[in-house]
Chains A and B, each alone.
Chain A
Amino acid sequence: MVIFALLGVNLISAIILAFQGDRRHAAELNILGSAATFAVSLALAFRVYEEGPFITGDGFFFVDAFNVYLCVLTAFVSMTTAVFSRKYMAHERKHGKVGHKGMRFYHAMFQVFIFAMLLALLTNNIGVLWIAMELATLSTVLLVSLYRTPAAVEAAWKYFILCGVGIAQALFGTVLLYFASEKIFGEGSKGLLWTNLSAVADKLEPTVLSLAFIFFMVGYGTKVGLVPLHNWLPDAHSEGPTPISAVLSGLLLNVALYALVRCKVLVDGATQSHMAGHIMMIFGLLSLLVASFSLLRQRDIKRLFAYSSIEHMGIATFAFGLGGPIATFGGLLHMLVHSLTKSSIFFTAGHASQMHSTQDMSGIGGLIKGNPLAGWGLMLGVIAIAGMPPFGVFTSEFLILTALIKEAPYIMPFFLLGIVVAFAALFRRVMPMVFGPAPSNQKAVKLAHLPVLVHLGLVLAIGLYLPAFLSDWFHMALKILIK
């Protein structure tokens, strides 16, 4: 019931918003819908926390600690993003960057996007997972091209084509998986249910599953933004509206990684080897290194943080690939803190570029004088994302590093190199923006303070003290991921 409520809220809000259009209170309705989703997701989380994982809807939905924490995260970040986007989009609307049709579309598609992600997280069916991922892509494609500038249309087209290609590979992987499971379960949907598959994972044909994993890796890896399939990500992030960049970075990448990890569990069970983990480690490390060096060359503020997202997704993928309780714990935590930090950074970066009417970092300066909250928000966000204590990213990266030193010390230098280069690149760019001289065209913009403060506060809190319920949660998730 809770699940239907969770998914229904989004769909209903999407429909209402489609009719509401650009009239008054559309943004407030958007917030309301997201808040309702968050409330329901909390209820779902409490139920899982109290009663443990459960399957419902004739096996169609499956909720366990792993996906429910991502659900809460998704609902939470989408709620704060909705809060942020109220003022942000009003500003864009006022300056004529979006028309009233665009606003209608934006609000409706925002809800559809959240719906697609929640469906992807909650479904038990690997095929439906694929469909939901595709739906999530499709619903954001036209949001990326919302401004209709040549660059935006190009970015959206790239996003559409690359993710379309990628996700097609994932479908091939799904077909192969079904091919393997059909022998055990016979015809019908039963053979695609994750719970069924993971119960008999050791009976699935290892060769088929390893091949399937390669397709999953390429497919969902494209959506995670792993190098060398990352090309769409910086473009889509830099050209779309900032709230969309925030949810793409903070949520969609997580959901794609979630799909990949779910597949990895099955493949590990079947092959009884570390093959899938190794592949993920290679992709993860490559993404970390390539992205951190690319950070050095960026000029556009949103592109900069898009590359930073690639880097962090690389770290998380690497952690899941490394396996073992500590690294996996670190990976789960990293998904959480990265999502919170990165979306808050995008909020402040969006404000910063609105204040200076440019996304070019050389045109942005003196944030700390122009708007202390935006300045400090960006500074603290970057400190957090670069992995400095006492923020949560430090904790997760530290955990992963500890596991890495224990499991594969010879990779450690590369890993550290990536993190250090990213750190240097980010600070080199951000310091002038925050503390440098303010350009003359700087203007005051109404800010949504709350989302930034809440996100950074949460990351700080997690870094200082991991609440017991959260670590319990992660431990429950660990049991699912590590057999």
Chain B
Amino acid sequence: MREGLYPVLIECLQVMTVLIGAPLFAGWIKALKCWSQGRSSAGLLQPFRDLSRLFIKETVLAENASWIFTATPYIVFGSAVVAGAIIPVLSVDLPLSAMADIIALVAIFAIARFFLALAGMDTGTAFGGMGSSREMMIGSLTEPAVLMSVFTVSLVSSSTSLSHMAHVLTSHTIELRPSLAFALMSFVMIALAETGRIPVDNPSTHLELTMIHEAMVLEYSGRHLALIEWANMMKLFLFAALGIACFFPWGIAGANEIWMLPAAVLLLVLKLALIGVFIVFIETMFAKMRIFRVPEFLGMSFLLATLGMISFFILES
């Protein structure tokens, strides 16, 4: 069965899950936020409606936009899909995950970020350049931290392959591991920064001077904007999935465990719902911090990740 169609099917199923789940997840967060603020929400499906509207609309290109500007949405979307094929969301039995480990995953996200930043500067507007420079600053700080924090998990499971990491963690008995706790704290902080949530960036504002991600994509419209928005939702979804795979993998179907799939889907929905609650909780509790405090925030997450790694050596080996 392993050599047959099953892995390919699983792979397709997972990519579909990511593609469809991401807007749903984004919708869930928006809805929760509306409820928490006493507003009535537009429903879970609103992101789909937004996307389809954008796809229908005409695409306007700046006069001096180069090929980079037009290619970027596809590259960003493509890299998000590839990342979705690597991270074990439903099952660890992914044929693609053998060819890319956690380092490659970080690199894939970096490619997307790199092109976005280029595209931001490509049209030559002031906001695009500002957004790009901020995004790169944050990126340069988050990448080492994300690597450190995920490496801690790979130290515990002695592998850098995500599927293998998730597999090892599920098959072990539950232990109190300070290193994983540190890594998790650090990971949460980085994920918030990477996906442009409060307290680092505010996804729902277009307030000119404080935005980071939105400033870069200000010049996009129509299907390009749709692709970028969709990729952005997928990134949020994927970071949530990455967190689940690294720290709470219980429930992800193991190799050849086809009967586990329905349970895996159910648990995934449950976990994502909880993560949504958590994100909304953070966004209501904290205010967006000043951009100059962001390096400190990220430095703290790097510190936590390093502490996690050190405490693995000191306390657990």
Q: Answer yes or no: A and B touching, Cβ < 8 Å.
A: no
